[in-house]
């Protein structure tokens, strides 16, 4: 690519046509802006109990309209904006998205200023506003988005003042928030409260509590609640079992995890472990340096017809290699390839990466070259990792030549820009300027920028060298 073409690439000329002021002035307000203006003006004119008359505005509610009203209110009238948001949520033909809840929380800074919630509730009480369970749920959803448990509990306690009876969904939101922040005693107290009010916990209630107990390592409490759930007619499914299983694995109770896995296999049906379940247990065993035991879990998995995926296999390969069981990793690959669940390319690419992780560069390189010779296509991560490994060992020419071999692969795998930068640094440092220029030309052609942290090293080693304009320009592009 010519230097002139390169400069066109890094310094594109952008021409922006600016319409005249008279043309701008002649453009009418959009329907959205007009509607938002009407709702905003109405709020300002009726700051007391605006919900009573907002319907008289008559304009259709759309997300863009709601967002604009929230923007206008956020600076000087946050409580009015929040009340408009709550009112809009239960209008027909309109529904807030999760994004809109997040926007409201951000605009009104609810996380930093949770009192705005209680202020709005107090305004409702003073003005004698009609508050429904729908309004309460909107407020609770805002609390959930902002992760403010105490305000959610306050809303729950205020429901009685507005003659609103809480239901299971309301309790679930509050229980979840306290579970997430570690307030498990309060959360359990709320479950007891539900029972006293003849409000029955459902699967969501139990799941939130089981996950909360597992999160802090209270595995016995989680197990007891799991049994209570079954006794109360909430039949556990794979998701419920997996939550408890994850807790056992996370806190090292691997034998209990195996027992629970066996229970799932015995129950079958909706409780049958799936690929994700088995992979999670396999990963836990590998993390505890018990990868050979993890192979037995793979056998159990396949015996019930559950097919391992690439994550399952790469987790096992990584675990076996980290413990030095390279031969077992090869046997595993042969077995998996024969089964047809994971491709030869995926298996051997994972093995290359695992060998590099344990500093077996020579073995990884031999395997990689064998793959190229036998038309086993490596993935982008294994290509990038090996070339970076060779370059960092000072074998930059070997890395560059291997890169050229990879370039011949049909449907070239995508390699990360970090690899290109490290290889270019090495070639520049060792003054392989012909190869460096070739690599730089390819990077320009593919619009691959040099990582900023490598620019100084490259410039230092090519300073004063003739014919290196392309490299210098590429370095400027990376700064």
pLDDT at 463: 62
The 10 Å Cβ neighbour count of residue 349 is 27
Residue 365 included in any domain:
no
Helix (H, G, I), strand (E, B) or coil at 181: coil
User: What CA–CA distance (Å, rounded) separates 80 from 293?
Assistant: 61
260 assigned to some structural domain: no
Q: Alpha helix (H) ranges present in 108-253? A: 115-127, 133-146, 149-158, 168-180, 184-196, 203-215, 219-231, 238-250
Q: Are 177 and 148 in contact (CB under 8 A)?
A: yes
The verdict on residue 464 lying in a domain is: yes
Please tell me the chain's helix, strand, coil percentages from 3-state DSSP, rounded to the nearest 5. Answer: 70, 0, 30
Q: What is the pLDDT of residue 4?
A: 36
Look at residues 112, 145, 165 and tell me which one is the last residue of a structural domain: 165
Last residue of a domain, one of 130, 165, 200: 165
Q: What are φ and ψ of residue 325, in 5° steps?
A: -90, 65
pLDDT profile of the chain (479 residues), mean per 10: 35 36 38 81 91 88 92 93 93 89 94 93 92 92 94 94 92 94 93 90 91 91 90 85 90 89 89 92 94 94 92 97 96 93 95 96 96 93 95 94 89 82 88 86 81 73 59 58
Question: In this structure, is residue 14 part of a structural domain?
Answer: no
84 closest CA partner among 73, 95, 76, 100 = 73
DSSP string, 347-414: HHHHHHHHHHHTT-HHHHHHHHHHHHHTT-PPPHHHHHHHHHHHHHTT-HHHHHHHHHHHHTSSSPPP
Using the Cα atoms of residue 243, residue 248, residue 254 and residue 255 in order, give the sign of their dihedral.
negative
**Number of C-alpha atoms within 13 angstroms, CB side, residue 407?**
12
Give the pLDDT of residue 353.
97
**Residue 347 included in any domain:** no
Assess if residue 118 is contained within a domain.
Answer: yes
Rounded Cα distance, 34 and 455, in Å: 52
Total domains in the fold of the chain: 2
Domain termination residue (choose one: 165, 185, 218): 165
Domain enclosing residue 63, as ranges: 30-165
Q: Could you identify the residue written with the tokens 């396999």? A: 282
Q: What is the pTM of this model?
A: 0.74
Give domain status of residue 59, yes or no. Answer: yes
Q: Is 316 within a domain? A: no
- Predicted local confidence at residue 447, as pLDDT: 82
Separation between Cα atoms, residue 137 and residue 105, nearest integer Å? 15
């Amino acid at each position: 690519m010519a230097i002139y073409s390169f400069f066109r690439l890094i310094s594109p000329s952008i021409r922006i046509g600016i319409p005249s002021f008279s043309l701008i002035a002649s453009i009418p307000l959009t329907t959205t802006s007009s509607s938002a203006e009407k709702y905003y003006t109405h709020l300002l004119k009726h700051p007391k109990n605006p919900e009573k008359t907002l319907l008289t505005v008559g304009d259709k509610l759309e997300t863009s309209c709601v967002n604009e009203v929230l923007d206008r209110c956020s600076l000087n009238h946050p409580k009015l904006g929040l009340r408009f948001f709550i009112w809009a949520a239960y209008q027909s033909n309109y529904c807030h998205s999760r994004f809109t809840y997040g926007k409201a929380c951000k605009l009104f800074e609810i996380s930093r200023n949770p009192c705005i919630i209680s202020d709005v509730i107090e305004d409702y009480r003073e003005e004698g506003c009609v508050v429904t369970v729908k309004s309460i749920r909107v407020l609770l959803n805002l609390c959930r988005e902002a992760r403010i448990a105490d305000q959610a509990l306050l809303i729950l306690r205020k429901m009685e003042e507005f003659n609103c009876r809480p239901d299971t969904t309301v309790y679930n939101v509050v229980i979840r928030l306290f579970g997430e922040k570690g307030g498990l005693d309060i959360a359990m107290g709320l479950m007891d409260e539900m029972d006293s009010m003849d409000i029955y916990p459902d699967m969501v209630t139990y799941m939130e509590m089981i996950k909360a107990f597992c999160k802090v390592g209270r595995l016995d409490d989680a197990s007891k609640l799991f049994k209570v759930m079954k006794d109360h007619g909430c039949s556990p499914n794979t998701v419920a079992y997996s939550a408890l299983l994850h807790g056992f694995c996370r806190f090292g109770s691997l034998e209990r995890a195996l027992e629970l896995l066996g229970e799932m296999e015995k129950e079958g049906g909706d409780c049958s472990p799936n690929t994700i379940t088995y992979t999670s247990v396999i990963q836990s065993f590998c993390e505890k340096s018990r990868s050979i035991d993890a192979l037995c879990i793979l056998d159990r998995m396949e015996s019930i017809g559950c097919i391992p995926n690439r994550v399952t296999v790469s987790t096992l390969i990584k675990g076996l290699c980290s413990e030095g069981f390279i031969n077992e990793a090869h046997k595993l690959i042969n077995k998996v390839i024969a089964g047809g669940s994971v491709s030869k390319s995926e298996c051997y690419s994972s093995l290359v990466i695992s060998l590099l992780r344990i500093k077996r560069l020579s073995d990884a390189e031999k395997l990689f070259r064998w793959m190229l010779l036998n038309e086993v296509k490596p993935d982008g991560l294994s290509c990038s990792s090996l070339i970076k490994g060779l370059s960092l060992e000072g074998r930059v020419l070997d890395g560059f030549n291997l890169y050229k071999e990879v370039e011949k692969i049909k449907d070239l795998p995508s390699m990360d820009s970090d690899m290109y930068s490290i290889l270019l640094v090495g070639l520049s440092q060792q003054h392989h300027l012909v190869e460096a220029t070739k690599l730089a030309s390819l990077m320009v052609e593919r619009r691959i920028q040099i990582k900023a942290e490598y620019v100084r090293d490259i410039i230092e080693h090519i300073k004063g060298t003739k014919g290196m304009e392309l490299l210098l320009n590429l370095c400027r592009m990376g700064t």
